[in-house]
């Protein structure tokens, strides 16, 4: 999770919403990414989506069973849906998102009865550091 925070800080330095994600398998980092929405001008370039795509290319498989995603902010519906689809085992996140979080913040996508895959969800890991980074970023944006 500390590496995800470091990636989020790098994203902030590039004027991206500071979110970092690290995908781990067997205790080792498989892939890592930070938000690149502004740089790529691509609304789908969330840290989670980039880490997933890189892992699929690396493993030459769309299935990511046996992995854990560490991310500084609760995944949105797009990212949570992708994480369910690729069969990530566990999602660990820092700060919850009560407006748009899909892992318990606004709602829990994994509670949908017809969903064929469930992820273990661990919220609140390094929450304060993640929250402070996001709050500082948006506070600066509002003053500009």
Helix (H, G, I), strand (E, B) or coil at 96: coil
- Looking at the DSSP bridge assignments, the partners of residue 71 are 21, 93
Residue 103 is given by DSSP the state B
Residues 6+ apart with CB under 8 A from 15: 38
pLDDT at 112: 93
Please say if 128 is a catalytic residue. Answer: no
pTM greater than the 0.85 cutoff: yes
Catalytic residue of the set 16, 32, 36, 48: 48
Below-70 pLDDT ranges, the chain:
none
pLDDT at 144: 72
* pLDDT at residue 141, rounded to an integer: 86
């Amino acid at each position: 999770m500390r590496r995800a925070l470091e990636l989020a800080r790098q994203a902030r330095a590039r004027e991206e919403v500071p979110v970092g994600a690290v995908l781990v398998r067997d205790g080792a980092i498989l892939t890592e990414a930070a938000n690149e929405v502004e740089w790529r001008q691509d609304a789908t370039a969330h840290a989670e989506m980039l880490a997933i795509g890189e892992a699929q290319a690396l493993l030459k498989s769309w299935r990511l069973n046996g992995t854990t995603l560490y991310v500084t902010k609760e995944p949105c519906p797009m990212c949570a849906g992708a994480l369910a689809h690729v069969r990530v085992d566990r999602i660990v996140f820092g700060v919850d998102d009560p407006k748009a979080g899909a892992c318990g913040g606004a709602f829990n996508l994994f509670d949908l009865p017809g969903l064929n895959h469930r992820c273990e969800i661990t919220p609140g890991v390094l929450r304060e550091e993640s929250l402070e980074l996001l709050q500082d970023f948006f506070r600066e944006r509002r003053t500009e």
